[in-house]
Amino acid sequence: MGRAWMRGALAALGMWSAAAQAAESGTPDLTREAIENATFREPQDEAKADKASKPAKKSRKEADKKPDPLLVKVQVLLDRARFSPGAIDGRDGENLRGAIKAFAQAQGLSASDRLTREVFDRLQATSKDPVVTQYTITEEDVKGPFVERMPPKMQEQAEVGPMRYTNTREMLAERFHMQRDLLSALNPNIPLDKAGGTLVVAAVPPLGEGKVEGAPVAPKVTRIEVDKRTKRVRAFGEDGKLTADFPASIGSSEKPAPDGSAKVTAVAFDPWYTYNPKYRFEGVTAKKKFSIHPGPNNPVGLVWIDLSIPSYGIHGTPDPEKVGKTESHGCIRLTNWDARDLASHTQKGAKVEFLDK
């Protein structure tokens, strides 16, 4: 009865996972083929598959720890459609559910965070390209330079120099919008610190570097909504249509995000970060201003979108896997790739609205 109840609960959420299928009905483990061939199966189809298969030795709890090929596919398709699930990890969670709901609404479907047949079919229709691809590690990838040890305290980071990645694994995972554990799970026998290895990675636009030429590029963003309740940031074009939707960490009890509205005053790629003691961040004891070099591990990541409210902005982060799951120092924190995406389209003077109802 316990197993049947759990299956029913998962089915009700629309997320009966391919990982669970692998445990109970012998479907493939996490491989390139399993991801490409993954398809949504209705709850009644799952019940039939269960009856036709022998019980597996693995428990449901053990299976759910694994990335799900179906959810990897869904996350890649959402990412490419600019309804970001955050770091692609192949697991259910708030960021994925928020992206599914935003996509469904944009498609005129029921405003639900459930993965349904209709949502899955619409997602598949957005792109016929493979959802994963191969990438060969280059000499440039492995030689760095990297930051051997990243100090945990901000004032110590001011002495590091360029805030580069700490290793090839972190760099490649972020380049392809992936959680580091998923990159390793997809490529278990390939050393990530040696050139020549061919990896399976998410087929998404790789994270770029430096200023985006021609920015703001089409579709230009003239209005941004920061939704404190859903922890999502929505971008709207000149015609008023939604162009992108991203998960975000928005403020904290220490420094809440502002209310009302603001305007974008500037966009900076690869910004320096300057700490002012008047911020009084918890754990920062510096009495004088200090600055931290640019780089993906800079406290504001690879982008700073400056707002007309002093000291507030929309920016990237050195911890993309925590976006939407932890608080920020009052600002609006996106993954580096989402922040670059938003910044590359946003016009100076764009209106930013903070929503909390």
- pLDDT recorded at residue 331: 87
Only one residue has tokens 């070099």, namely 293
| Residue of 177, 329, 331, 345 marked catalytic | 331
**In this predicted structure, what is the pLDDT of residue 277?**
86
The CB-side HSE value for 291 (13 A sphere, CA atoms) comes to: 5
- pLDDT winner (highest mean) among 118-132, 143-157, 273-287: 118-132
CB 350 within 8 A of CB 271: no
Q: Is the pLDDT of residue 28 over 90?
A: no
Question: pLDDT per residue over 225-282, tens digit each?
Answer: 999 999 999 999 999 999 999 999 997 666 778 899 999 999 999 999 999 888 777 7
Is 107 a residue whose pLDDT tops 60? yes
* CATH superfamily of this structure's domain 221-355: L,D-transpeptidase catalytic domain-like (2.40.440.10)
**350 token code pair:** 């764009």
As a whole number, mean pLDDT of residues 20-39 equals 72
Q: What number is the average pLDDT over the span 132-143?
A: 97
Residue 279's Cα: distance from chain center in Å? Answer: 27
Q: Has residue 47 got a pLDDT over 70?
A: no
Dihedral sign from CA coordinates of 3, 9, 12, 15: negative
Per residue in 179-225, pLDDT (tens digit) is: 999 999 999 999 999 999 999 999 999 999 999 999 999 999 999 99
Total Cβ atoms within 10 A of residue 61: 9
Extents of the domains making up the chain: 132-202, 221-355
**What does the pLDDT look like over 59-98, one tens digit per residue?**
444 445 789 999 999 999 999 999 999 999 999 999 999 9
Long-range Cβ pairs for the range 193-196 (8 Å, 24+): 193/142, 193/167, 193/168, 193/169, 194/137, 194/142, 195/137, 195/138, 195/139, 195/141, 195/142, 196/136, 196/137
Distances (CA, A) of 183 to 88, 116, 187, 209, 243: 9, 27, 6, 21, 28
The answer to whether 331 is a known catalytic residue is: yes
Rounded distance between C-alpha atoms, residue 100 and residue 106, angstroms: 10
Query: Which CA distances in Å does 67 have to 24, 183, 302?
Result: 15, 10, 28
Helix or strand run (H / E) with residue 218: none
pLDDT band at 328 (very low <50, low <70, confident <90, very high): low
Res 11: pLDDT: 40
Cα 63 → chain centroid: 23
**The whole model's pTM is what?**
0.86
Please give the average per-residue pLDDT across 157-186, as a whole number: 97
Cβ atoms 199, 136 nearer than 8 A? yes
Two structure tokens written together for 122: 């619409």
Taking a C-beta distance cutoff of 8 angstroms, is the pair 130, 76 a contact?
no
Centre a 10 Å sphere on the Cβ of residue 292 and count the other Cβ atoms it contains.
24
Tell me what pLDDT residue 104 has.
97
Q: Express as a percent the part of the chain with pLDDT over 70.
A: 83
Beta strands in the chain (DSSP E): 132-136, 198-202, 221-227, 232-237, 242-247, 249-250, 261-269, 273-275, 290-292, 303-307, 313-315, 332-333, 346-355
pLDDT, average across residues 303-307: 97
pLDDT score for 232: 97
Cβ atoms of 115 and 15 within 8 Å: the answer is yes
- The phi-psi region of residue 20 (left if phi > 0; otherwise alpha if psi is between -120 and 50; otherwise beta) is alpha
Q: How confident is the model at residue 18 (pLDDT cuts 50, 70, 90)?
A: very low
Give the strand pairing for 221-227 and 346-355: parallel
Banded model confidence at residue 27, pLDDT cuts 50, 70, 90 = very low
pLDDT of res. 312: 92
Helix or strand holding residue 173 (H, E): helix 168-175
